[in-house]
A and B are shown apart, each in its own frame.
Chain A
């Protein structure tokens, strides 16, 4: 016979004495190493996920790995913290000396570097002292609360209550308002928005309207309160109020009916110090002398479960209890220690027993099948049900209330609800094999998986029906028989995969999601009806009737060595391994791993799981039984990613308000953490700076640095997980922008380009204008030269000159020679100068004198040229004066009786000019004029960019003012 190795584990065990113990969470102490001598007094989890603790030495922020002290300002005059509270915008801190401080959400802390132990690193203070005009109490602050319209209430131990509303502080005391006592232990808001104050004189329900109208209603013993002294208050999820008394246990007050609707009976645990409520039905109570206990109010003995003897919590003096978002229960004791445990996971230690099967019957009694016998828990004690030594492998409660216990070798025991053995079905009764691995109840029938094949029997244990034929199951080796809600019978076989019997037909699944199915260990059905089954090595599969889906360690499973599956009342799938279990959300595939390494129990047995009527899952293990509570709350599945700091050039910044940086502030360090108090060491991260990083980077470090980021818009994203898969986990993001330097901003670049283009345009247009001007100048000059030439070789001039010459030749050949010389000189000079832009004034005058000589000879006394210039030097355009003289001759009558007098003079008004002036005696018939000469002169001077040529004409004189151009040198 083939026996799977798991069975050897089952067979290894031996018997031992066992004492009934309570199934309770496993607490471990936090912050022992780094914080010696610190006494914690108060604890709180803020919305951002951090756990804050107040102590006699100050304030600490805890991330699961290290406690960081927050330095306190000296102005407080105190370090001993007595209360913590988070309001909408502040974390409030109350001190023993009555001082009150607060932290704003934008508080900046020095980033935490690396992932190593930080110890009690002191973070710079951001705590502000709260100081209203009215002053703050001098009595210890015990608690804070907020009422329905945002009033902050402060409980003091000695001064009653204060209420901060409309920027005024009001007090409630015994005399004026009828507060039950000024010694207030706790305050809380009920479902109607009223503030309850628990005092040592009863309970006062207080309200105050916006205009200061106070109302106090007191509940004392006369109203049914169990004790005058009420140290603990706790509103439940419906807004009703739990009251924990100094003596007399706990009670619950229904705020709608104004009645107590629950009171604990026969309380023997002394003073209640604190409470935590787990909906729908569990209350944890911390007591000052007898540890913490769990109550299921409404059941007998208050439904109380206490820690077993020897457990450190059993006799602890509990100060405070707190529930966090992961379902951890935190406990502070009077010694100032901080402990925590996952409240969902309880361990019932059954030392030296190997629990191979568990069952909770309809009377909520726990049955445990071990390798030595069957145990039934009654009144907190286990008793053995079966005679002799029996190796119980499986347990099942039937519809008739009987418990069927399958053994290794001795068949099935049918036990009635009273715990009496009704019958044993063994091989002697015709059972094919006496070793029963799995029992399933299907209405009036029972399915037994034996080592000799599957057997169907009726509830009496008769009428065996076998299904071992090849066309039926095809194998004798069945690990698990499972009856689903549709009454289909599922078989997990060894070697033949998954088989289902539906409507009398067997259907075999030998392949799922491309994976060949061989050995199936465990089967369960989720609340949506999908079948989940685990294989020997290939991981977990779900089957919704259409398709298979596979889950492996790549899809968040802790391991692929799965030894059991069970669906909790909340619909989660519990996946059991030998070192712990995953709780899987079938809708999202998210898992949370619950390690059992340090718990003293090891769930080594196959299919030792059971879901009770309350939805809690029980898991039999070596050394005890594990219970996963099915609380109504949805706890966090994954670490909660938070950004803890942003540094720019190693300088922490307030990243809540800062997100714009200049271009040279570009060395960033991001610090982050995944708050996961369940298992803080296991958290891994991936981060990505978009768009800088093309891909996610995975790390165990809690910081990422980016030196020298270029300007741009960025989003830093970080996710955290406990098991490789990051999809769908919480993400912390920080969006920021590094501005471009001024020279790289678009508007600056645009302006620069515009400026450059403007300058270029100016230069180009200027140059073009200059070239144009020069070209024009050249053209004008050429034209003027041409005109001058034309005029000079103008036949009139030559004709006149030659006429003059003819007359002179006969009269005075000597002068004629002189005349010809002058004429020749004149032409020569004209030819010489005409190419030049400017010539000296003296040269021009020389030319004019030659011209004068020629004219004088022609007109004799009718013409005279008078040159009266001072010491003038300068340049002049060639032929300027000659042309002006010629013009004068051309346009005026020249006779002896009316002589033409041309004068070349200094300008008396302007030293830059010389004047050419002639008396006006117009010809009656004006000479035809090209109008070219004077205008050309004016234009040429204009193009030269010099002073303009000015023309003035009055009745007597025609005056042209010609500017002298300075020598270049």
Chain B
């Protein structure tokens, strides 16, 4: 695990998405407005929300990455009350303001060459303050100086100690489908 992404995201969780100077890192891909969409498809209710403020860095040299999203930036709930429940009851966003995923990319690809690649990212997924090791498969599309990252994966609420009161059990799925779509660009 490279040090920089740990310091970048986990040591300064409260800060606005200002990126520090990157000493020793020549070139990274960076993204400040990635989209993270989740969907809970429960028998009684479908809950969806999206944040367009997911930030990410990929170091092609070291094949490391770090992604983070502020829980409070999720929007698009069925009601303001639902959003409040999401933040206060389930995610406890004042206590755990961020969800992060950082680690290493298993496949080696040429980030300077245009094309679409399927890669697997192995890392630590931290949601609700609970870290789980995960492998997430995604598609990387390199075009010139830009790179688009897309991934679909599921998050089991139980894995992250997100407990659902029995009353709303039928309304929240045990597995949440997450879709990530981020446009990244080179940053020197």
Contact = CB atoms under 8 A, between A and B. Distances in A.
Contacts of B157: none
13 contacts: A133-B137, A133-B152, A133-B153, A135-B120, A135-B135, A138-B107, A169-B135, A171-B106, A173-B122, A175-B1, A176-B122, A212-B132, A212-B133
Contacts of B133: 170, 212, 214
Given A159-B106, A175-B104, A134 B132 contact: no
Given A135-B135, A171-B135, 13 more contacts: A134-B120, A134-B135, A135-B120, A135-B137, A138-B107, A168-B134, A169-B135, A170-B135, A175-B1, A176-B1, A176-B104, A176-B122, A212-B133
Query: What 5 A-B pairs are tightest by C-beta distance, nearest first?
Result: A135-B137, A134-B135, A135-B120, A171-B122, A169-B135
A515 B13 CA distance: 98
Interface string B99-137: 000001011000000000010101000000000111111
B154 interface: yes
Contacts of B132: 212
A159 B1 CA distance: 17
B59 to A, nearest CB: 14
A138 to B, nearest CB: 6
Given A170-B133, A171-B106, A175-B104, A135 B153 contact: no
Main secondary structure of the interface of B (DSSP, over half): strand
B68 to A, nearest CB: 20
A173 B132 CA distance: 16
Contacts of B106: 159, 171
B135 to A, nearest CB: 4
Interface string A205-222: 000000010100000000
A175 B132 CA distance: 17
Contacts of A133: 137, 152-154
Determine which residue in A173, A176, A214 has the highest number of CB atoms from chain B within 10 A of its CB, and name it. A176
Interface in A74-131: none
B119 to A, nearest CB: 9
Interface of A: 133-135, 138, 159, 168-171, 173, 175-176, 212, 214
B2 to A, nearest CB: 10
B137 A134 contact: yes
Nearest to B124: A176
A160 to B, nearest CB: 9
A175 B106 CA distance: 12
Contacts of B153: 133
Contacts of B107: 138
Contacts of B136: 134
Contacts of B135: 134-135, 169-171
A133 B1 CA distance: 23
Contacts of B118: 135
A460 B107 CA distance: 80
Contacts of A173: 122
Contacts of A176: 1, 104, 122
A164 to B, nearest CB: 11
A121 to B, nearest CB: 35
Contacts of B104: 175-176
Nearest to B120: A135
Contacts of B1: 175-176
Contacts of A171: 106, 122, 135
A903 to B, nearest CB: 82
A657 to B, nearest CB: 29
Contacts of B154: 133
Nearest to A171: B122
Nearest to B131: A212
B24 to A, nearest CB: 19
Interface in B73-97: none
B69 to A, nearest CB: 20
A432 B107 CA distance: 88
Contacts of B134: 134, 168
Contacts of B152: 133
B13 to A, nearest CB: 23
Contacts of A175: 1, 104
A168 B132 CA distance: 11
Contacts of A170: 133, 135
B155 to A, nearest CB: 11
A168 B155 CA distance: 11
A173 B122 CA distance: 10
A169 B120 CA distance: 11
Contacts of A159: 106
A436 to B, nearest CB: 76
Contacts of A135: 118, 120, 135, 137
A135 B122 CA distance: 11
A420 to B, nearest CB: 70
A170 B135 CA distance: 7
A382 B29 CA distance: 75
A176 B135 CA distance: 13
A168 B104 CA distance: 18
A797 to B, nearest CB: 95
A152 to B, nearest CB: 15
A200 B107 CA distance: 20
Determine which residue in B106, B132, B134, B136 has the highest number of CB atoms from chain A within 10 A of its CB, and name it. B106
Nearest to B136: A134
A453 B153 CA distance: 90
A238 to B, nearest CB: 34
Nearest to A175: B104
A545 to B, nearest CB: 70
A338 B140 CA distance: 43
Contacts of A212: 132-133
A212 B122 CA distance: 14
A175 B105 CA distance: 12
A170 B106 CA distance: 12
A661 B147 CA distance: 58
Nearest to B138: A135
Nearest to A167: B156
A182 to B, nearest CB: 10
Interface in B45-71: none
A171 B153 CA distance: 17
Interface string B140-162: 00000000000011100000000
A211 to B, nearest CB: 9
B154 to A, nearest CB: 6
A206 to B, nearest CB: 14
B71 to A, nearest CB: 23
Nearest to A134: B135
A789 B50 CA distance: 109
Contacts of A168: 134
A554 B73 CA distance: 86
A175 B122 CA distance: 12
A134 B122 CA distance: 9
Determine which residue in A135, A168, A176, A214 has the highest number of CB atoms from chain B within 10 A of its CB, and name it. A135
A803 B135 CA distance: 131
Nearest to B135: A134
B4 to A, nearest CB: 16
A133 B178 CA distance: 12
A133 B177 CA distance: 11
Nearest to A208: B133
B66 to A, nearest CB: 15
Contacts of B122: 171, 173, 176
B16 to A, nearest CB: 31
A159 B107 CA distance: 9
B113 to A, nearest CB: 17
Contacts of A214: 133
Interface string B26-60: 00000000000000000000000000000000000
A181 to B, nearest CB: 15
A175 B62 CA distance: 12
A857 B150 CA distance: 123
A131 to B, nearest CB: 10
A944 B153 CA distance: 87
A806 B135 CA distance: 135
A138 B152 CA distance: 19
